Amino acid sequence: MAGYDFDLFTIGAGSGGVAASRRAGSYGAKVAIAESLRVGGTCVLRGCVPKKLLVYGAEFADAFEDAAGYGWSVGERSFDWQRLIAAKDRELDRLHGIYINMLTGSKVKIIDGRARVVDPHTVEVAGRRFTAANILIATGGWPEMPQIPGIEHAITSNEALDLKTLPKRVLIVGGGYIAVEFAGIFRLLGVEVTIMIRGDLLLRGFDEDIRTALGEEMASRGIAIHPRTEVTRIDRTAEGLVACTKSGTMITVDQVLYCTGRRPNTKDLGLIEAGVQVNKAGAIVVDESSRTTVPSIYAVGDVTNRLNLTPVAIAEGRAVVETLFNDNPTTIDHHNVASAVFGQPTIGTVGLTEAAARRSHGAVDIYRARFRPMKNTLSGRGERTMMKLVVDRGTDRVLGCHMVGRDAAEIIQGIAIAITCGATKKQFDRTIGIHPTAAEEFVTMREKVPEPDAQAAE
């Protein structure tokens, strides 16, 4: 566009920013992208990918144990944390290189340094100013920790992915998906794991049956879960780190990992001065087209705090570019987006929780199954799977599907297509399952769970 250095200037080279910039470049737009750390962002370098690699590495512990039930004699085995971290780092370096090549292949100019918005059409990076017809903010989020005495002794998920040695005792503060995933990784690797949460159950915001089933399975693995507990200070002693709670109890560990939330990464971006509205949580306020209160500035991904998932950020970024550079006005539907928690066991979920469905639709029917997976019969493992369907009683439409158990993420991805298409329970029932699989349970559940009032009366 005439008069500007670039048609699009993207701040933040994570999944959303890279996807948007590449697509804009493919449409012939002149694009620049600025990144203060490494190209790849949270998902590729500090989140989804490295964490999933650690999950895979840790799960071999179960595989070795289960093998005996199937006739295998597994000899002496040992685990080397440093080898796993080194292998993970090599893969991240590879992906970092791929992302750079994808950007340069799309003729996107990569600018190293922290960018700051100067005005609706100007960005400054390390003292250099660039003008752009449109600016896209895709700076993601960053782990947040409370300011309590001794908090400098604690780490976040960023540092947990790069620990030099594997601790013997870990305290995890927080009960969200990051806490659950790291608890599973550490416990499988033989670490003594304690979780402290302010509420009664893990995974606030998830379906209640998921939260209950997950807590039971994690406890059966030896993970100590302390509900209604708040850490007030952390002291370093000769024996380790001592976490003190509001109730006066103390626990000594080798590492304290805080997983108490992430904050939109909007600090020192110059947004307020440029006229971009930011809410109390620090998130950029946008409309359904991801446009901010300044017409030439857009924002996508975790920095908007709408639905903080990598595929959503990618979809939002591409939608902005379709609208701006391909004459194809596009918005993203944030409903019925499937998600997973790669804990032990795994969680997969799509659609409404039972509580949310009752609030928005009134009368609903609930179908629920709990069973021991076939694989666990010979291995002797006691872990059980839970599956649940939430159905609108008036229309028979399936509003939500939830699962706790092996392969939950892989199974729910397919179920999400049916939910997005508005499938009914009758259509689920008409679908013939694949036997023997756990997934077939989603199309064979026939008995409704009694209404809460009826259950209480029994």
Tens digits of pLDDT across the chain (458 residues): 568 999 999 999 999 999 999 999 999 999 999 999 889 888 888 899 999 999 999 999 999 999 999 999 988 999 999 999 999 999 999 999 999 999 999 999 999 999 999 999 999 999 999 999 999 999 999 999 999 999 999 999 999 999 999 999 999 999 999 999 999 999 999 999 999 999 999 999 999 999 999 999 999 999 999 999 999 999 999 999 999 999 999 999 999 999 998 999 999 999 999 999 999 999 999 999 999 999 999 999 999 999 999 999 999 999 999 999 999 999 999 999 999 999 999 999 999 999 999 999 999 999 999 999 999 999 999 999 999 999 999 999 999 999 999 999 999 999 999 999 999 999 999 999 999 999 999 999 999 999 887 555 44
> Quick one: pLDDT at residue 456?
53
Bridge-based pairing of strands 128-137 and 297-299 is parallel
CATH number of 6-143+263-325: 3.50.50.60
- Spatial contact of 181 and 51, defined as CB atoms under 8 Å apart: yes
158-166 long-range contacts, CB within 8 A, separation 24+:
158/46, 160/257, 161/46, 161/50, 161/51, 161/54, 161/88, 162/85, 163/81, 163/85, 163/255, 164/82, 165/81, 165/82, 166/81, 166/191
Domain with CATH 3.30.390.30 in the chain: 339-450
The Cα 269–Cα 272 span in angstroms is 8
339-450 CATH fold: Enolase-like; domain 1 (3.30.390)
Question: Which is catalytic among the residues 121, 153, 361, 435?
Answer: 435
Q: In angstroms, how far is CA 386 from the centroid of its own chain?
A: 21
**Active site (annotated) includes residue 121:** no
C-alpha to C-alpha distances, 191 to 186, 237, 290, 327, 377, nearest whole angstrom: 5, 20, 43, 54, 26
Q: What is the pLDDT of residue 153?
A: 97
Residue whose entry in the numeric block shows the structure tokens 């694009």: 31
Residue 167 CA to residue 186 CA, distance in Å, equals 9
Domain 151-260 of CATH type 3.30.420.80: no
CATH 3.50.50.60 domain residues, the chain: 6-143+263-325, 151-260
Using DSSP bridges, classify how beta strands 31-35 and 364-371 pair: parallel, antiparallel or unpaired.
Answer: unpaired
Cβ–Cβ contacts within 10 Å for residue 246, how many? Answer: 12
> How buried is residue 357: exposed, middle or buried, by Cβ count under 10 Å (0-12/13-18/19+)?
buried
